[in-house]
């Protein structure tokens, strides 16, 4: 048995005579066929382009949000940049237009005298140009007691000009300590016709040896130091004694001696023992003995300050229990 062949031309020719449901079914079929062909030919590529536009839209919206946030903080960032620019300009104005090395050497010598240290040598090295300034390095070697050296280095940071200290090396030099360091001062790269404006320098670190132990001495040999206070100038025309040419840290108290009502302190420096009484002088800072006790000797030292005046400070040498 064979199925009858479907004659499509005859079928469509007679479609006008079909009942209404058949016509509707045929119309839906033709419409679906047209939609499938249109989808394949046109709509698929358009839909892909639409998806690409949607992704791009999301990216642009994200960038817009980021730029809007940046714009909202632009004024604050501008104020911050201007403040930083003014600060850099102010720092550059603090730098001198010339090297001013002679004046700096005078300041270093003055600070050394004020703090009781000896300047062994200063070597001025070649200048090192930078982008905004020029460095002037100097190799400095000083000798003195631990607290004196610390106070000297701290005083360098309080100078009106900018001075930094680097490559610090500390070692023994007999009974004293020797400090070698690289100090740098700075100046502007170009000469400015505008005078330097007044500025408020940063608060320098002031070294106060009170209650600070010298790590290079045993606890029983510590020297008590306190900051100086204003005082009258000493008699600079007075002949200086032999013991005033030696650093006070070179002396060790080894005992006391009494002759009647007069008390003497016995101080040893190297292999020699010296005898002092109240009123005698000791050390380079016009140190005068004010009191002698069994376990200590008390002095008052006078030294110049940074303003041309004089300061005084008490100093105590304790008995060397190992003597």
Sign of the CA dihedral with 94 first, then 95, 100, and 101 last? positive
pLDDT of 226: 47
pLDDT of 91: 65
Q: Any idea what DSSP says for residue 43?
A: I
pLDDT of 167: 87
pLDDT of 216: 64
Distance CA 29, CA 35 (A): 10
pLDDT of 37: 74
What residue ranges do the domains of the chain occupy?
101-188, 219-318
pLDDT of 307: 67
Level-2 CATH architecture, domain 219-318: Roll (2.30)
Distance CA 149, CA 167 (A): 15
pLDDT of 196: 42
The domain made up of 101-188 has a fold known as Alpha-Beta Plaits (3.30.70)
The answer to whether the beta carbons of residues 140 and 122 sit under 8 Å apart is yes
pLDDT of 99: 64
Q: Compute CA distances 28 → 25, 34, 127, 178, whole Å.
A: 5, 10, 95, 107
Residue 134 structure tokens:
């020029």
In tens digits, what is the pLDDT along the chain, a chain of 323 residues? 454 554 556 555 566 666 777 667 767 877 777 777 766 666 667 777 778 888 888 888 888 888 887 777 777 778 888 888 777 776 666 666 666 778 888 888 888 877 778 888 888 888 888 877 788 888 999 888 888 888 888 888 777 777 888 888 888 766 678 889 998 888 777 644 343 444 444 555 566 655 566 666 665 555 555 455 677 888 888 888 888 888 888 888 888 988 888 899 999 888 889 999 999 999 888 899 999 988 888 888 888 876 677 888 888 888 876 65
């Amino acid at each position: 048995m064979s199925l009858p062949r479907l004659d499509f031309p005859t079928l469509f020719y007679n479609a006008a005579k079909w009942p209404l449901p058949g016509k509707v079914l045929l119309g839906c079929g033709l419409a679906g066929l047209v939609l499938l062909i249109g989808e394949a030919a046109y709509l698929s590529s358009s839909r892909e382009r639409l998806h690409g536009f949607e992704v791009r839209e999301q990216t642009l919206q994200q960038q817009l949000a980021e730029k809007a946030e940046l714009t909202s903080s632009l004024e604050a960032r501008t104020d911050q940049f201007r403040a930083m620019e003014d600060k850099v300009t102010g720092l550059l104005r603090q730098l001198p237009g010339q090297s001013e090395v002679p004046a700096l050497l005078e300041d270093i010598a003055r600070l050394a005298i004020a703090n009781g240290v000896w300047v062994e040598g200063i070597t001025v090295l070649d200048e090192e140009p930078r982008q905004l300034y020029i460095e002037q390095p100097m190799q400095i070697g000083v000798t003195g007691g631990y607290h004196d050296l610390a106070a000297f280095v701290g005083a360098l940071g309080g100078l009106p000009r900018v001075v930094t200290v680097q490559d610090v090396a500390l070692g023994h030099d007999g009974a004293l300590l020797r400090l070698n360091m690289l100090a740098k001062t700075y100046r502007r790269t170009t000469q400015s016709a505008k005078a330097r404006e007044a500025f408020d320098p940063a608060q320098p670190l002031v070294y106060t040896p009170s209650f600070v132990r010298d790590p290079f001495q045993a606890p029983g040999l510590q020297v008590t130091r306190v900051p100086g206070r204003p005082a009258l100038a000493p008699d600079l025309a007075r002949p200086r004694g032999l013991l005033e040419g030696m650093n006070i840290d070179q002396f060790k108290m080894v005992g006391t001696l009494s002759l009647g009502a007069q008390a003497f302190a016995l101080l040893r420096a190297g292999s020699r023992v010296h005898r002092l009484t109240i009123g005698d002088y000791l050390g380079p800072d016009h140190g005068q003995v004010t009191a002698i006790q069994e376990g200590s000797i008390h002095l008052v030292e006078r030294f110049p300050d940074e303003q041309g005046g004089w300061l005084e400070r008490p100093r105590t040498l304790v008995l060397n229990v190992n003597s």
